[in-house]
Amino acid sequence: MTSKYPEIQGGGSLILAWQVRNKKILVVGGGEVAAGRIVNVLNADAKVTVVSPRAGLNDEVAYRVDQKQVEHIDRKFEPSDLDGVDMVLAAVDDPEASTQIYKLCKEKRIPANIADVPPECDFYFGSVYRDGPLQIMVSTNGNGPKMANIVKKRIAASLPSNMGAAIQKVGALRKKLRKVAPLPEEGPKRMQWMSKVCEKWSLDELCSMTDEDMDTLLEFYKPGTVPTLAEVRLYEPGGVYEGPFLI
């Protein structure tokens, strides 16, 4: 029997945008996989510590250590490394160490990704496309990591190059709108108006929107209308404005 509600398809992952700004993340290992993890978490503004013997660091990880982008503990993993840590990413070529790290993380309830052991991961990484504020993650839920990479590239190729820039402008406009209409009870109106702007304006229009344009556009929030960019630029503040576009 078909239902009017979404059908449940178990076996997936909960895909979230985890906020790790200033959280302490421990990366165990300093090889190629660790290098990828480090980029992912630094891009999310985490505080990163890498534990691995210096001799085992690959060029990229050694570079990030030398640049002080990450802290470095020059030895093998020890249990005390987990003190005060919010997340652990293990990428070592030593299955025994992997299992020990996993067990300790379970005990201490620290979320962990153990690169080579999917059953020991609280979460998987995915293939990520990034364009400014826009991030798209593709997961195949452990079935085909390389396929995730291929799907990501296809999605990326289909996206306009100014998508991230447009989203950045929308972010700035939303911030200003919050100042103009701060009250919680205005929520529904605020959201409706914001959605209309996103739907009506092209990406090029959004991208070319200046700070001044934003302020003018926001004058249309009260009547709840959405002019075009051209109309915004024709608008004279304080004037009585009743164009055919005020729908």
Ligand X SMILES: C[C@@]1(CC(=O)O)c2cc3[nH]c(cc4nc(cc5[nH]c(cc(n2)[C@H]1CCC(=O)O)[C@@](C)(CC(=O)O)[C@@H]5CCC(=O)O)C(CC(=O)O)=C4CCC(=O)O)c(CCC(=O)O)c3CC(=O)O
Q: 91 touches which of ligand NAI, ligand X, none (CB within 5 to 8 A by kind)?
A: ligand NAI
Q: 56 touches which of ligand X, ligand NAI, none (CB within 5 to 8 A by kind)?
A: ligand NAI
Using CB under 6 A, list all residues that contact ligand NAI: 28-34, 51-53, 56-58, 76-77, 91-94, 97, 115-116
Query: What is the DSSP annotation of 31-79?
Result: SHHHHHHHHHHHTTT-EEEEES-GGG--HHHHHHHHTTSSEEE-S---G
Could you tell me which residues are beta bridge partners of residue 27? 50, 89
Q: 28 touches which of ligand X, ligand NAI, none (CB within 5 to 8 A by kind)?
A: ligand NAI
The answer to whether residue 116 is catalytic is yes
The CB-of-151 to ligand NAI minimum distance in angstroms stands at: 16
The CB-of-115 to ligand X minimum distance in angstroms stands at: 5
Nearer to ligand NAI, 77 or 102 (CB): 77
One of 74, 94, 116, 215 is an active-site residue; which one? 116
**Assigned token pair, 85:** 């840590």
Nearest alpha-carbon partner for 176 in 146, 214, 128: 214
Report the C-alpha gap between 7 and 16 in whole angstroms. Answer: 20
Catalytic residues: 116
